[in-house]
Chains A and B, each alone.
Chain A
Amino acid sequence: MGPYPFGSGTAASGWAAADSGPQCSASEIDGLLAGAGYRVRSSDLLHVAHSLERLESAIGGGPADHLASAEAVRYNPSDLTTWVNSILSELSSSLPPLRPPPAAPVAGTWPDLTCFSLPYPQYQTAVIAATRQREEEEGSAIRLVHLLVTCADAVQRGDSGLAGNIIEEMRVVLTRVNTGFGIGKVAGYFVDALCRRIYSPCSSSSSASVAGSAADQEILYHHFYEVSPYLKFAHFMANQAILEAFDGYDRVHVIDFNLMDGLQWPALIQALALRAGGPPFLRLTGIGPPSPDGRDALREVGLRLAELALSVRVRFAFRGVAASRIDDVRPWMLQVVPGEAVAVNSVLQLHRLLGDPGDDAAAPIDSVLGWIVRIQPKIVTVVEQEADHNRPSFLDRFTEALFYYSTMFDSLEAGGGATQKQQQAVAEVYLQREVCNIVCCEGAARVERHEPLVRWRARLGRAGLRAVHLGSNAFKQASMLLTLFSGEGYCVEEVDGCLTLGWHSRPLISASAWRADADVAPLPDSQLFNPGIAATINSTSISGNDNNNTNNFQSMHHGSGNGNAAANNQQNNATCDGGVIGL
């Protein structure tokens, strides 16, 4: 049929095989069908064609909707060879015998049919075995979920004997499922977490060991950032809101509640560099846990960001604030300067300030929200997990988490190729730690107290913050961002001006932006900043000479009019890192 080959070349868009090249080898995948979403070896095409004909004969001319209930119909449709053969196998008893090939081959179209062979019985037994195995696995998975919930219930009632027995049983069931992916894997994590809860209950010290070192946590975070769009979405949305809020300001100050590797900030720095009318003077205050072993992780990040800012000609100053908990931070440590536009950025941090519901008095969230509001930020960007993992009932929390993290793990699995798989494994450890914290820890040790957006709205509203609509442009751009990922199940939704990113219509993370109500009284200057410091920042050029600056900074501290805390106060665990790094 013409000079056109069956198909060769890349499968990316199908039509790339337009050039009539040499006939592809028989074991190769037909490139044109690949572009249509079907992987069929060229050498199998004839066989598939015959199978299709047989199926058609079996159906006759009438309706075929009864075929839809065949098990094999739900096999991978892209693997057309297996798909068609499996359906045939399932119907094998009702099919007419194989038709003998026609006496004279039809010249000029299809080649000799004598190569046609169908190892029928082998297909049949393989299909039946595969079906049985799948049924067994599905049954085990359902059983696991049932056992998990039953175990959690036993834990809640304090029946650790029963809980222990159920755990043993779950371990047995786990040997019968594939724990490499899907429900088997997630169940494995939850069984481990339950085990830990029963046999080594959480205290503050062990929660630290569960959480691992801060450096480990950064690595895990980085991998999670790489293999999934959640953190990228979060950073992107927050940066958009910050950029818009900073419009028209010459001096801007971003306060990042969890600096980590500073992954969020290169994009903002570059965007500010390209701003119409030129970039503002950008200050970044990064809060993070203190580094052990004499390292100064915060400053290292600050230095890297300063180099980047220098390369794109953005005047930049960095300050690190080392604090184990956000509530150890005091506003004066942030050195807010009058006249600058402030953005407070919290990615997955606010939930750590919550307490048990109903016990709000003890929770630091309100005092932190209080001072956030009173430093009068132009924008507060909040990213949180969209889940209810702070419910008073352990069983409720457990079940919620099981479904949340199943969805989350599912979405990770849908991502890329071999190298991605290694990163994915590390990213999963990141999530596994969250699971452990939710399941194993109580009281102050439990920091993964995720609450849904609707409750954050109420809380932030009570504190005097009003939502800033993220806008349809942000929605559009978020959707575009998602097209860079191969997993097709991600979905962005807009809910009253906030955006959520989810997997298959289950929102998993939310991004929102807020500003302070006009009628909230600002913090008194003495609590907010030291006028002496402000004068210094305004008038002197900030050099990269760290020693000088450190000395200056510490001396300013001691001279501060505010008696609350000096740099090395034992009472609170925050220290202000020296080294204001600038250009």
Chain B
Amino acid sequence: MAGSNEVNANESKMVVPLNTWVLISNFKLAYNMLRRPDGTFDRHLAEFLDRKVPANAFPVNGVISFDLLIDRATNLLARIYRPAPTAPPDSHRPSLHADLQSPPSPDPFPVIIFFHGGSFAHSSSNSAIYDSLCRRFVSLCGAVVISVNYRRSPEHRYPCAYDDGWTALKWASTEPWLHSGKDAKLRVFLSGDSSGGNIAHHVAVRAAESGIEVSGNILLNPMFGGNQRTESENTLDGKYFVTVQDRYWYWKAFLPEGADRDHPACNPFGPNGMKLEELPFTKTLVTVAGLDLTRDWQLAYAEGLEKAGHDVKLVYREQATIGFYFLPNTDHFYEVMEEIKNFVSSNC
């Protein structure tokens, strides 16, 4: 349908800078190649096309990173980002290398467990776009960031990604160097974009059920949906890089066989959702992009949290599209980063 494509391209061109348009359009093209109509996914090609960066224990702009295997049983890797360690004042230590797993400061510091996006199927903790974002979080908040390399669909469906997120949270709670302050507490924030935001929510629910205290959730354009067709899905379909059909594909690949999009993983405040009223659920900062076709589901999520009596701050960027947080070239980017910084510092 060449005609409608022409309109689509023109509309998205008008709201994002050229390099952002190229970046996200390129993702769209590549992702279209990877999804097969029969529900399978070309994982080899996906890994080949994904631009990855290695971890780097040499400081770059004061931030270092290293990869850790945090669970042998599932080969769960995480990339840890932290401020570059300073030389210890006195060095009565036998270890041969600088202590990467030491507290970055004597004062309380936040730990951000980050789940990258990719609609449950794409990207990894070593994807270049997410490496950049996590490094930014370190500088922004003085945080240690743990980017979890969770298992992806369609090879690993619900609840694998949530299990991996939970494993990461439990791991962090047993690492002494991540605890800070006079009360030696883990000041942990769960965070993610797109599917990562969805994972952060569900891990936070498990944390609330299990009595692990989470200082806050930071969800960037979190991925939610449902069986209904919302207004934003109708009006924005195909206009800003994303189509309703591709959303459906990713949910089908993630949810259990036979489940529909009112499954609580996809629609936590839908007909099969869990009641969160009684739970000590954490505070949440949610960003919603006005030009994201799943906008209505995200707004419903924020409303659902509020109705359940939980603290929610909604940051609504009317003219933003998906992926506005990848490149630091818009007001959306800088203003949202500022919101995140304030949220973390006031809840740490």
Residues of A within 8 A of B (CB): 1-2, 4-7, 12-18, 30, 32-33, 35-38, 40, 45-46, 48-49, 52-53, 55-57, 59-61, 63-65, 67-68, 73-74, 77-78, 80, 84, 96, 99, 106, 109-110, 236, 239-240, 243, 267, 270-271, 274-276, 475-477, 479-481, 483-488
CB neighbours (8 Å) of A484 from chain B are 57-58
Known: A37-B52, A56-B5, A483-B56. A476 touches B22 (CB 8 A): no
Interface: B234 (CB within 8 A): no
A12 partner residues in chain B, CB cutoff 8 A: 60-61
User: Given A7-B329, A17-B328, A63-B36, A73 and B45 touching (CB < 8 A)?
Assistant: yes
Q: Are B94's CB and A4's CB within 8 A?
A: no
Contact between chains at A36 and B96 (CB < 8 Å):
no
Given A77-B48, A488-B54; A275-B94 close (CB under 8 Å):
yes
Tell me which of B129-137, B156-164, B287-295, B296-304 binds A: B129-137
Inter-subunit contact A2/B331 (CB<8 Å): yes
Distance between A516 CB and nearest chain B CB, rounded to angstroms: 24
Residues of B within 8 A of A274 (CB): 91-94
CB pair B33–A67 under 8 Å, yes or no, is: yes
Determine the residue in chain A with the shortest Cβ distance to B54.
A488
A13 touches which one: B17, B19, B33, B135 (CB < 8 A)?
B135
The answer to whether B96 and A240 touch across the interface, beta carbons within 8 angstroms, is yes
CA distance A13 to B52 in the complex (A): 12
Contact of A73 among B2, B13, B22, B33 (CB under 8 A): B33
List 18 additional contacts besides A60-B1, A479-B67; criterion CB under 8 Å: A5-B329, A14-B328, A33-B23, A38-B51, A45-B19, A45-B22, A48-B22, A49-B22, A57-B6, A61-B238, A73-B45, A96-B2, A106-B10, A106-B13, A110-B18, A275-B94, A479-B68, A483-B65
Q: Does B308 contact A (CB under 8 A)?
A: no
Collect the chain A residues with CB atoms within 8 Å of residue B69's CB. 475-476, 479
Report Cα–Cα, A77/B238, bound state, in Å.
Answer: 24
Could you tell me if A77 and B13 are in contact, using CB atoms closer than 8 angstroms? no
Kindly state the separation between the CA atoms of A551 and B128 in the bound complex, as whole angstroms: 64
Point out the residues of chain B lying under 8 angstroms from A2, CB to CB. Answer: 17, 329-331
Contact assessment for B61 and A4 in the assembled complex, using a CB-CB cutoff below 8 Å: no
Q: Which of B92-115 contact A (CB under 8 A)?
A: 92-97, 100-101
Chain B residues in 8 Å Cβ range of A480: 57, 66, 97, 100
**Tally of A-B Cβ pairs under 8 angstroms:** 196
Identify whether the interface residues of B are mostly helix, strand, loop, or mixed: mixed
Distance (Å) between the CB of B197 and the closest chain A CB?
20
Would you call B97 and A481 a contact (CB within 8 A)? yes
User: Are B16 and A1 in contact, with the CB atoms below 8 A?
Assistant: yes
B138 to chain A, nearest CB (A): 10
Contact A15 B93 (CB under 8 A): no
A80 CA to B19 CA in the complex, in Å? 12
Q: B residues within 8 A CB of A61? A: 1, 4-5, 238, 243
- 7 closest Cβ pairs, A-B complex: A37-B51, A37-B128, A64-B32, A14-B132, A4-B329, A483-B55, A68-B33
Query: Would you give the shortest CB distance from A498 to chain B, in whole angstroms?
Result: 16
Does A65 contact B132, Cβ atoms closer than 8 Å?
no
User: In the complex the two chains form, what is the Cα distance from A109 to B13 in whole Å?
Assistant: 8
Residue from B52, B57, B96, B243 in contact with A271 in the complex, judged by beta carbons closer than 8 Å = B96
Report yes or no: B131 in contact with A13, Cβ–Cβ below 8 A: yes
Question: Could you give, for residues 61-90 of chain B, a 1 whenever the CB lies within 8 Å of some chain A CB and a 0 otherwise?
Answer: 101011111000000000000000000000
Residues of A within 8 A of B238 (CB): 61
Contacts of B48 in A (CB 8 A): 74, 77
Chosen A-B contacts, 11 in total, with CB atoms closer than 8 Å, are: A5-B329, A32-B329, A37-B52, A46-B18, A52-B22, A55-B29, A56-B5, A56-B25, A96-B2, A270-B96, A483-B67
Contact indicator B97/A14 (Cβ below 8 Å): no
- A191 to B: closest C-beta gap in Å: 31
Q: Does B277 contact A (CB under 8 A)?
A: no
Q: Given the complex of chains A and B, what is the CA–CA distance between A55 and B30 in angstroms?
A: 11
Supposing A49-B18, A74-B48 touch, asked if A65 and B29 sit within 8 A by C-beta, the answer is: no
Distance, CA A18 to CA B328, complexed state (A): 6
- Is B276 in contact with chain A by the CB < 8 A criterion? no
Across the interface, name the chain A residue whose C-beta is closest to B249: A63
Closest residue of chain A to B243, judged by CB? Answer: A61
Decide: B60 and A13 in contact? CB cutoff 8 A.
Answer: yes
Residue B49 CB within 8 A of the other chain: yes
Contact assessment for B51 and A483 in the assembled complex, using a CB-CB cutoff below 8 Å: no
Query: What's the least CB distance linking A50 to chain B, in Å?
Result: 10
**Which A residues are in CB contact (< 8 Å) with B58?**
484
Give residues of chain B (7-36) contacting chain A, Cβ–Cβ below 8 Å. Answer: 9-10, 13-19, 21-23, 25-26, 28-30, 32-36
Are A479 and B66 in contact, CB atoms less than 8 angstroms apart? yes
Out of A59, A110, A476, name the residue touching B32 (CB < 8 Å).
Answer: A59
